[in-house]
RNA sequence: GCGGACGUGGCGAAACUGGUAGACGCAAGGGACUUAAAAUCCCUCGCCUUCGGGUAUACGGGUUCGAUCCCCGUCGUCCGCACCA
C-alpha cells in the first residue's frame, strides 16, 4: 500500500541529475502546513477592506474520528476558500464543533468517561486529523458548542427570545422511554420502541419549552423564493414541510342533546368548503376535547380513544392501520341547512395537532372519507363532477373524485366551478352568525409546528430559567449567566442527572429570594447549530454577536453540507436568524445565500456467511484480484474468498469504511482531496475505490515529475506567454484551461475542473519533457514557465501542498496560497479559425475550417464547395442551408 | 398515496440547456523500455460492418433542418413527505 519509496537509482536518466525522486507528501505536507500557520495565511481580519466571502462547511459532531464524508465536505469548502482567496476576496473560512448531544452521555454510561472529557478528547483527535488535510481554516476562531463561553451566549439569546415572546412553555405530547426515563425524538422511536433501551415508548404529556417558529411560517415560505442559490430540491422540501394550505374554519352547531356535554359547537378546518353539500359526517381526533367529554359518559368511546392513542406511535402501524371510527351520538347542524343533522364520529385518522382536530367528511370527494362512509354506511352524495362528465349519470363507486370540476347536487351552487363554489360558500358562511360571531372564516393553515427544544438530558445547554413557587417561571438575570453545567455528575441511574444532582438545581429565586429550583431541561442540540455561523464572525465577543461584524460577514456566501440537513437544521437556522434580527443581534433574515448539498462517499461491501451469521469484512482486511474481468476478494489472513456485495454508504456496521488517516498516511492529503473531488459530480455519491485513489496518486506524482524535471531549465527564465510561433500552442492550452477551470470552480464543478486539468497536463507533458532534456528554445521555456505556473495555480485549491512544492521549485517567490489568481489572455483563448461540423440531412458528413468571423454567406458558399456536399447534391440546389454561427452547418437536400 | 429527481460504453462520467454523443479518468487489451517486475511512455477500446458505412443516450411515439436536451406515454431506480382535512 505504501508507495512512497525513493525511485531506484539504477534507473538512468540521461538528461537529469536531480529531482528524480518521487514526491513525498509525508515530508512536504507538514512542511507547508507549518509554513501557512507560521505566516498566519488563513487568519481573517474583520477590518480587511476587501470584498468579503464567507465559506462554511457544516461543522462536525466530534464522534471520535473524521470519516471520508468529512474529507469530501471539507475538501470542497477548501477549494472554494482557496480559490476565492486567490480571486482577491477577504475570505472567512472557520471551523468548530457541534459538541453537545447524546453520544457523549452514552459513552459516559458505557465507558465511565465524563461527557466533557470524552468530547474534548475527540475534538483534539479530529482537529489533528483536519489539520493533516491542510485545510485553509482560520483556527483562531475555533469553538465548540459545549464551551461555556458559547453556551453562555446561547442562554443570552434564549432570554432575549423569551422577552420578545418567541419562547413559551406548554404541555405537549412526547415520546417517553420509561426505561431510560427520557424523552425521545421521533426518529429515535423505532417500531414503537426506544432505539437504545428497546422499551415500549409511551406518549406522555410534559411541560416543554418551545420556540415560536410558526410566527414566521409565511415568511419562511415566501423567502424561499429569494434563495435562488439553493438547490431546488431543498427549497421544495422546505415548502412541503411548512405545508401552507388555504381554507376556512367552519363552526358547526351541536344539536341540543343530553349526550353533548358542555360542547355547543365543533369547529372544523377545511380546504374544500365547496364540497359542503356532500358532507355526511364530522370526524374528530381521539384527543379532541369533545371526544374527552363524551368519553366520560360513554365507555365504548373512551375505549376507542384509548386504543387510538396507543396505536399512534409507529409509522408502520399508521400506514397499515384501518380507518376506524365510533359514533359519539352527538349530532351537529349543517351550516347551510339547519334542518340537516349529521353524526359526529371519533376517527383514528384525524390528528389533533393539525387544523382544529376536527373535519367534515365528504365521501364523494375524498378517498379516506369514502372508505369510512362505506364502512359505517353513511351517505355518499357526489357534488363535484369532472368538466366533461354527465350530471345525470355521474356517480361515485369505490373511487372518490377529488379533482376540480363542476358542482352538482349542491342546490344553488350547481353549475359553478369548484373555485366559484369555494368563494360562494366562504362568503355565505363568513356572513352568517352563530351565537353572535361569524360562523366561519377564511384561514391559512400551516403544517409547521412550533419547535420543542426541551430535552431531559445532561449534555446540552441548560435552559436559563428558575421555577419559583411564588413568582412562577423566572428568567435567570443576564448578570447571573452562564448557568453552567455541573461537572460532578453520575450516570449510574437512568434519567436526567441534572434532576438528581444534590445541589445544582437548588437556587434562590432572583425575584423574591425564596428557595426555588432551576429548570433541569437542556436545549435540543439543533439550537446550538442554529447560530454558530453568526458566532464565527466575532467569537471573542462578550455578547452573542458583534452586530456590525455579523452584518458585514453574513449571509454565508457558500454553505456546504449533507442533504440530510435539508429541512431541520436549515429551517431552524433560518428561524434563528429572524429571531436574532428581532432581538437586535444581527440584521438580516436569510443566513445562507448559497447552499450546496454534497453527495456521500460510498464503497463496496464485503461479507461472508448468510442471513444471521453474515459477517462483514473491512476492505483493509482483504485483497482484490481480477481474473478474466471477474473481480474476486480474498481475506488477507487466510486467503479465503469472500463475497463482493453492493455499493453502500460507508458505515461502521457494514465495515465498508476507509479511514482517512490511513489514506493520508500512505498517499498524502493531496491525493485524498484530489480523489474525492474528481470523477463524480460533487452533489452525487462518489465511489471510493482503491484503483481510483491510485489514479489520483499517479496524477500527483506525474505533475511533480513533469514540473520538477523541467524546473532547472525553467526557473531561470521569466514567465511569458507565447503569442505566436511554435510555443503558442503551449500558452493557448494553458490559458484556455485557465478560463475553463475558473468557470468550473465558480460553479463548484470540481469533477469538470479535474478533467480539464488532466487535459492540460497531457498536452504539457511532451514539451515539459523536451524542455527537461534541454531541447527548448528561450521563447518556449518562457511559455512553459508561464504555463507551469498556471497549472500549479489551477491545482492549488485542490492539492495545495503539491502546488507549493512545485511553485517553489519553479523558482517563484512567496506562497501559492497568497498569490493572486492569474488572468487569461483573450487572444490566447479565442481562435482565429474554427472548424465547423457539416451535416447533410442532420448527419455529420464533413468539416469546414474557416475564419472565425466569416459571415454566413462565406460559410454557405465554402460549405457548398466541399466534395462530400457536392456529391450529395448531385448537381441540384440544396433545399435549405442552416448555418448556426460558430456551431454547425446543416444542409437539407 | 402525494411530491420530486434520475436513467448515456465494462465502470465513474462529459456534452456551453436544441447543434460533431462518449471529453477526462478507471478497468481491460496490445506494444516499447527491463534479465524480470514495478514505474514510465506509445497505441486500441460503445455495438455491428462486406471498412463504403450502418447503428446507438431505459423503451415507444411526437415536434424540429437537427433531440441525451423539448412534448406525450410506458418501464425502472433513488429521494422527500405521508391519515394534512
pLDDT in tens, A18-69: 445 789 999 999 999 999 999 999 999 999 999 999 999 999 999 999 999 9
A646 CA to B58 C1' in angstroms comes to 21
Q: What per-residue confidence (pLDDT) applies to A863?
A: 86
CB of A392 lies under 7 Å from some atom of strand B:
no
CA of A10: nearest nucleotide by C1' is B34
CB of A839 lies under 7 Å from some atom of strand B:
yes
Distance CA A817, CA A623 (A): 39
> Does residue A6 have a pLDDT over 60?
no
Give residue numbers, 565 to 594 of A, with CB < 7 Å from strand B.
Answer: 566-567
CA of A889: nearest nucleotide by C1' is B19
Residues A688-697 have pLDDT tens digits of 888 899 999 9
Cβ A721 vs Cβ A731: under 8 Å? yes
Q: What per-residue confidence (pLDDT) applies to A611?
A: 72
- Stretch (H or E) spanning A368: helix A367-376
Q: What per-residue confidence (pLDDT) applies to A19?
A: 42
More confident residue, A433 or A610: A433
A837 CA to B65 C1' in angstroms comes to 14
Give residue numbers, 685 to 744 of A, with CB < 7 Å from strand B.
Answer: 685-687, 689, 691-692, 694-695, 698, 701-702
Distance CA A337, CA A411 (A): 11
CB of A323 lies under 7 Å from some atom of strand B:
yes
Q: What per-residue confidence (pLDDT) applies to A314?
A: 46
What does residue A61 show for φ and ψ, rounded to 5 degrees? -85, 130
What are the residues facing A134 on neighbouring strands?
none
Residue percentage of chain A with pLDDT more than 70: 94
Confidence of residue A716 (pLDDT cuts 50, 70, 90): very high
Q: Helices (DSSP H) in A532-668: which residue ranges?
A: 532-535, 547-553, 568-582, 660-666
Distance CA A564, CA A573 (A): 15
CB of A830 lies under 7 Å from some atom of strand B:
no
> Does residue A651 have a pLDDT over 90?
no
The grid coordinates listed for A393 are 349519470
- Stretch (H or E) spanning A52: strand A52-57
More confident residue, A476 or A855: A476
More confident residue, A373 or A322: A373
More confident residue, A567 or A145: A145
Establish whether the linkage from the previous residue to A555 is cis, with ω within 30° of 0: yes
How distant is the alpha carbon of residue A44 from its chain centre?
26
> Does residue A17 have a pLDDT over 50?
no
A306 CA to B1 C1' in angstroms comes to 27
- Stretch (H or E) spanning A92: strand A90-92
Number of H helices, E strands in chain A: 26, 37
Q: What per-residue confidence (pLDDT) applies to A3?
A: 28
Cβ A771 vs Cβ A781: under 8 Å? yes
Mean pLDDT of A781-787: 96
The grid coordinates listed for A91 are 475570505
More confident residue, A591 or A15: A591
List the end-to-end C-alpha distance of chain A, in Å, as a whole number.
61
Residues A93-109 have pLDDT tens digits of 999 999 999 889 988 88
CA of A759: nearest nucleotide by C1' is B24
CB of A436 lies under 7 Å from some atom of strand B:
no
Mean pLDDT of A708-722: 94
CA of A350: nearest nucleotide by C1' is B83
Mean pLDDT of A618-629: 76
CA of A698: nearest nucleotide by C1' is B39
A609 CA to B78 C1' in angstroms comes to 28
The grid coordinates listed for A479 are 448578570
CA of A892: nearest nucleotide by C1' is B65
Residue percentage of chain A with pLDDT more than 90: 64
Q: What per-residue confidence (pLDDT) applies to A260?
A: 55
What does residue A237 show for φ and ψ, rounded to 5 degrees? -60, -40
The grid coordinates listed for A26 are 509525508
CA of A631: nearest nucleotide by C1' is B27
> Does residue A4 have a pLDDT over 60?
no
Mean pLDDT of A441-462: 92
A237 CA to B5 C1' in angstroms comes to 12
CA of A887: nearest nucleotide by C1' is B19
Kindly report which listed range (A155-164, A307-316, A543-552) carries the lowest average pLDDT score.
A307-316
CB neighbourhood size of A865 (10 A):
10
Distance CA A321, CA A313 (A): 12
CB of A542 lies under 7 Å from some atom of strand B:
no
Within a 13 Å sphere around the CA of A13, how many CA atoms are in the beta-carbon half?
Answer: 17
Range list of β-strands (E), A397-551:
406-407, 433-434, 437-438, 440-446, 451-452, 454-455, 465-468, 472-475, 506-508, 515-518, 522-523
A758 CA to B65 C1' in angstroms comes to 37
Mean pLDDT of A449-460: 91
Mean pLDDT of A449-472: 93
> Does residue A12 have a pLDDT over 50?
no
> Does residue A14 have a pLDDT over 50?
no
Q: Which is nearest to A672 in space by CA: A662, A682, A680, A681?
A: A662
Q: What per-residue confidence (pLDDT) applies to A705?
A: 94
Q: What per-residue confidence (pLDDT) applies to A322?
A: 74
CB of A843 lies under 7 Å from some atom of strand B:
yes
A880 CA to B61 C1' in angstroms comes to 27
More confident residue, A611 or A663: A663
CB of A403 lies under 7 Å from some atom of strand B:
no
Please, what's the b/e burial string for A770-809 (b: 16 or more CB within 10 A of its CB; e: otherwise)?
A: bbbeeebeebbbbbbbbbbbbbbbbbbbbbbbbbbbbbbb
**DSSP designation for A421:** H
Opening angle at CA A790, ends A786 and A796, nearest 5: 145
CB of A755 lies under 7 Å from some atom of strand B:
yes
Q: What per-residue confidence (pLDDT) applies to A8?
A: 30
Q: Which is nearest to A427 in space by CA: A415, A439, A414, A444?
A: A439
Distance CA A676, CA A673 (A): 5
> Does residue A13 have a pLDDT over 70?
no
Give residue numbers, 610 to 629 of A, with CB < 7 Å from strand B.
Answer: 626, 629
CB of A241 lies under 7 Å from some atom of strand B:
yes
Distance CA A785, CA A804 (A): 15
All residues at 6 or more sequence positions from A774 whose CB lies less than 8 Å from its CB, including other chains? A15, A713
Give residue numbers, 38 to 97 of A, with CB < 7 Å from strand B.
Answer: none
Mean pLDDT of A578-591: 97
CB of A272 lies under 7 Å from some atom of strand B:
yes
pTM above the 0.80 mark?
yes
How distant is the alpha carbon of residue A58 from its chain centre?
9
Range list of β-strands (E), A458-500:
465-468, 472-475
> Does residue A602 have a pLDDT over 90?
no
Q: What per-residue confidence (pLDDT) applies to A321?
A: 65
The grid coordinates listed for A486 are 455541573
Q: What per-residue confidence (pLDDT) applies to A1?
A: 28
CB of A834 lies under 7 Å from some atom of strand B:
no
Range list of β-strands (E), A503-640:
506-508, 515-518, 522-523, 558-562, 595-598, 601-608, 615-617, 622-627, 630-635
Q: What per-residue confidence (pLDDT) applies to A209?
A: 94
> Does residue A223 have a pLDDT over 80?
yes
Q: What per-residue confidence (pLDDT) applies to A820?
A: 96
A727 CA to B2 C1' in angstroms comes to 62
Q: Which nucleotides of B are covered by protein (CB under 7 A)?
A: 3-5, 11-16, 19-21, 23-28, 37-42, 54, 65-67, 79-85
CB of A231 lies under 7 Å from some atom of strand B:
no
> Does residue A117 have a pLDDT over 90?
yes
A737 CA to B9 C1' in angstroms comes to 27
CB of A673 lies under 7 Å from some atom of strand B:
no
Q: What per-residue confidence (pLDDT) applies to A777?
A: 92
Distance CA A567, CA A577 (A): 15
Mean pLDDT of all residues in chain A? Answer: 89
ipTM of model: 0.94
CB of A446 lies under 7 Å from some atom of strand B:
no
Q: What per-residue confidence (pLDDT) applies to A9?
A: 30
Confidence of residue A403 (pLDDT cuts 50, 70, 90): confident
The grid coordinates listed for A243 are 405545508
Amino acid at each position: 500500500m505504501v508507495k512512497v519509496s525513493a525511485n531506484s537509482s539504477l534507473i538512468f536518466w540521461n538528461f537529469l541529475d536531480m529531482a528524480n525522486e518521487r514526491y513525498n507528501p509525508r515530508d512536504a505536507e507538514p512542511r507547508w502546513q507549518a509554513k501557512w500557520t507560521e505566516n498566519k495565511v488563513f487568519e481573517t481580519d474583520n477590518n480587511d477592506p476587501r470584498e468579503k466571502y464567507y465559506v462554511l462547511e457544516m461543522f462536525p459532531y466530534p464522534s471520535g474520528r473524521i470519516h471520508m464524508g468529512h474529507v469530501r465536505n471539507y475538501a470542497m469548502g477548501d477549494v472554494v476558500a482557496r480559490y476565492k482567496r486567490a480571486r482577491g476576496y477577504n475570505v472567512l473560512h472557520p471551523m468548530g464543533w457541534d459538541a453537545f448531544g447524546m453520544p457523549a452521555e452514552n459513552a459516559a454510561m458505557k465507558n465511565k468517561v465524563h461527557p466533557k472529557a470524552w468530547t474534548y478528547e475527540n475534538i483534539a483527535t479530529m482537529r489533528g486529523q483536519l489539520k493533516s488535510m491542510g485545510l485553509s481554516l482560520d483556527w483562531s476562531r475555533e469553538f465548540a458548542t459545549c464551551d461555556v463561553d458559547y453556551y453562555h451566549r446561547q442562554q443570552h439569546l434564549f432570554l432575549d427570545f423569551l422577552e420578545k415572546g418567541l419562547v413559551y412553555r406548554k404541555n405537549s405530547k412526547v415520546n417517553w422511554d420509561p426505561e431510560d426515563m427520557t424523552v425521545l425524538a421521533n426518529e429515535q422511536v423505532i417500531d414503537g420502541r426506544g432505539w437504545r433501551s428497546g422499551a415500549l415508548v409511551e406518549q406522555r404529556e410534559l411541560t416543554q419549552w418551545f420556540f415560536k417558529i410558526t410566527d414566521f411560517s409565511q415568511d419562511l415560505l415566501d423567502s424561499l423564493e429569494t434563495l435562488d442559490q439553493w438547490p431546488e430540491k431543498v427549497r421544495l422540501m422546505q415548502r412541503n414541510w411548512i405545508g401552507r394550505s388555504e381554507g376556512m374554519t367552519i363552526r358547526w352547531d351541536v344539536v341540543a342533546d343530553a349526550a353533548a356535554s358542555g360542547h355547543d359547537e365543533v369547529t372544523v378546518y377545511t380546504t374544500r368548503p365547496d364540497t359542503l353539500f356532500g358532507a355526511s359526517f364530522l370526524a374528530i381526533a381521539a384527543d379532541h376535547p369533545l371526544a374527552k367529554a363524551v368519553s366520560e359518559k360513554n365507555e365504548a368511546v373512551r375505549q376507542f380513544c384509548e386504543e387510538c392513542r396507543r396505536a399512534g406511535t409507529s409509522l408502520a402501524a399508521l400506514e397499515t392501520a384501518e380507518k376506524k371510527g365510533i359514533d359519539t351520538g352527538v349530532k351537529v347542524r349543517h351550516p347551510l341547512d339547519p334542518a340537516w343533522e349529521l353524526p359526529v364520529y371519533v376517527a383514528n385518522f384525524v390528528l389533533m395537532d393539525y387544523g382544529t382536530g376536527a373535519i367534515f367528511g365528504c365521501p364523494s370527494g375524498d378517498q379516506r372519507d369514502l372508505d369510512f362512509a362505506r364502512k359505517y354506511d353513511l351517505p355518499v352524495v357526489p357534488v363535484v363532477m369532472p368538466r366533461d362528465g354527465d350530471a345525470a349519470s355521474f356517480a361515485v363507486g369505490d373511487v372518490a373524485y377529488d379533482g376540480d370540476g363542476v358542482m352538482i347536487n349542491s342546490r344553488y351552487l350547481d353549475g359553478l366551478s369548484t373555485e366559484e363554489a369555494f368563494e360562494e360558500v366562504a362568503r355565505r358562511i363568513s356572513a352568517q352568525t352563530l351565537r353572535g360571531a361569524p360562523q366561519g372564516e377564511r384561514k391559512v393553515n400551516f403544517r409547521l409546528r412550533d419547535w420543542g427544544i426541551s430535552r431531559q438530558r445532561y449534555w446540552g445547554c441548560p435552559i436559563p430559567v428558575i421555577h419559583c413557587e411564588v413568582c412562577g417561571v423566572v428568567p435567570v438575570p443576564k448578570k447571573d449567566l452562564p448557568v453552567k453545567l455541573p461537572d460532578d455528575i453520575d450516570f449510574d441511574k437512568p434519567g436526567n442527572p441534572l434532576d438528581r444532582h444534590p445541589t445544582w438545581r437548588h437556587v434562590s429565586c432572583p425575584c423574591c429570594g425564596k428557595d426555588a429550583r432551576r429548570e433541569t431541561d437542556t436545549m435540543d442540540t439543533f439550537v446550538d447549530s442554529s447560530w454558530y455561523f453568526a458566532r464565527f464572525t466575532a467569537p471573542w465577543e462578550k455578547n452573542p454577536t458583534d452586530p456590525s461584524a455579523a452584518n458585514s460577514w453574513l449571509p454565508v456566501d457558500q454553505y456546504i453540507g449533507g442533504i440530510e440537513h435539508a429541512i431541520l437544521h436549515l429551517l431552524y437556522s433560518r428561524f434563528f436568524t429572524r429571531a436574532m434580527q428581532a432581538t437586535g443581534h444581527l440584521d438580516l433574515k436569510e443566513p445562507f445565500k448559497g447552499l450546496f448539498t454534497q453527495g456521500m462517499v460510498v464503497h463496496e461491501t464485503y461479507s461472508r456467511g448468510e442471513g444471521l451469521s453474515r459477517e462483514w469484512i473491512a476492505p483493509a482486511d482483504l485483497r482484490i484480484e481480477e481474473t478474466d474481468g471477474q473481480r474476486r476478494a480474498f481475506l488477507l489472513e487466510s486467503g479465503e474468498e469472500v463475497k463482493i456485495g453492493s455499493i453502500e454508504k460507508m458505515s461502521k456496521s457494514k465495515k465498508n469504511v476507509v479511514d482517512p488517516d490511513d489514506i493520508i498516511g500512505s498517499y498524502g492529503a493531496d491525493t485524498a482531496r484530489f480523489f474525492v473531488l474528481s470523477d463524480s459530480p460533487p452533489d452525487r455519491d462518489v465511489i471510493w475505490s482503491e484503483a481510483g485513489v491510485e489514479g489520483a496518486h499517479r496524477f500527483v506524482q506525474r505533475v511533480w515529475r513533469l514540473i520538477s524535471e523541467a524546473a532547472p531549465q525553467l526557473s531561470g527564465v521569466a514567465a511569458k506567454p507565447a503569442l505566436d510561433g511554435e510555443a503558442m500552442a503551449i500558452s493557448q492550452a494553458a490559458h484556455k484551461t485557465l478560463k475553463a477551470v475558473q468557470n468550473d470552480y465558480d460553479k463548484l464543478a470540481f469533477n469538470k475542473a479535474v478533467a480539464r486539468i488532466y487535459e492540460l497536463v497531457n498536452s504539457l507533458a511532451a514539451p515539459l519533457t523536451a524542455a527537461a532534456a534541454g531541447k527548448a528554445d528561450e521563447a518556449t521555456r518562457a511559455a512553459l514557465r508561464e504555463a507551469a505556473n498556471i497549472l500549479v495555480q489551477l491545482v492549488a485549491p485542490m492539492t495545495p501542498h503539491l502546488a507549493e512544492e512545485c511553485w517553489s521549485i519553479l523558482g517563484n517567490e512567496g506562497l501559492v496560497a497568497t498569490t493572486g489568481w492569474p488572468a487569461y489572455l483573450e487572444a490566447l483563448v479565442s481562435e482565429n479559425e474554427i472548424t465547423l461540423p457539416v451535416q447533410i440531412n442532420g448527419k455529420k458528413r464533413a468539416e469546414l475550417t474557416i475564419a472565425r468571423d466569416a459571415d454566413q454567406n462565406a460559410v454557405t458558399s465554402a460549405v457548398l464547395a466541399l466534395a462530400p456536399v457536392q456529391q450529395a447534391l448531385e448537381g441540384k440546389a440544396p433545399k435549405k442551408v442552416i448555418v448556426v454561427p460558430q456551431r454547425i452547418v446543416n444542409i437539407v437536400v
